[in-house]
Amino acid sequence: MFDADTKAMGYLPNYTRLFAHSPAVYLAWQQLNGAVKAEMELRRYELATLAAARALKSSYCGLAHGKVLRDKFFDAPTVAAIASEHGSAGLSAQEVAVVSFAGKVAVDANSVTEADIADLRGHGLDDTEIFRVILTVGARCFFSTVLSAAGAEPDPQYTESLDVDLRQALSFGG
């Protein structure tokens, strides 16, 4: 487990050390997350994941997924804007709707209404795509909650790879 993650990441993440207490759960998480991610456009997955991390106040996940957004899709100021006020970050109307919805699901899934689903449909998402956003958030709720409750600190590599302004924007307090 340590060797595989070190090879994949270039270092041993703190979450791997934590999940060493339950390797079977870690393997199940990897399979679940891989299945969720495989059926979704990466940009949408990362935006929904960042929205959930923000709602859950998970700095670890915010830094990790903000870095992916910066590396693959946006410049650092845009990612910082997405993390603080996504509605004015230059995202498409569909992406704003997805980020808003993902945050709502993470904070209070029971508050999701048919109007919320209709709004996403109005932005061009079909029911399968909406369900995938929900799955993304549900998976993130598991992982972020475990990391936060166990006190897992974000990896120090984020200090080296993200500028101070972006690190601050992606550090949500947990």
3-state DSSP percent of the chain in helix, strand and coil, to 5: 80, 0, 20
Average pLDDT over residues 11-40: 96
pLDDT of residue 173: 79
The contacts found for 31-34 with CB under 8 angstroms, 24 or more apart, are 32/139, 33/139, 33/143
Specify the residue for token string 């993440």.
Answer: 13
So what CATH class is 41-170? mainly alpha
Q: Is the pTM of this model over 0.75?
A: yes
pLDDT of residue 174: 57
Residue 159 pLDDT grade (very low, low, confident, very high; cuts 50, 70, 90):
confident
- Residues 46-71 as b/e (b if ≥16 CB within 10 A, e otherwise) read bbbbbbbbbbbebbbbbbbbbbbbbe
Average pLDDT over residues 61-81: 97
Residue 94 pLDDT grade (very low, low, confident, very high; cuts 50, 70, 90):
very high
- Residue at 129: amino acid letter: E
Task: Among 37-41, 69-73, 170-174, name the one with the lowest average pLDDT.
Answer: 170-174
Tokens found for residue 40: 């979704």
Average pLDDT over residues 126-132: 98
**pLDDT exceeds cutoff 60 at 40:** yes
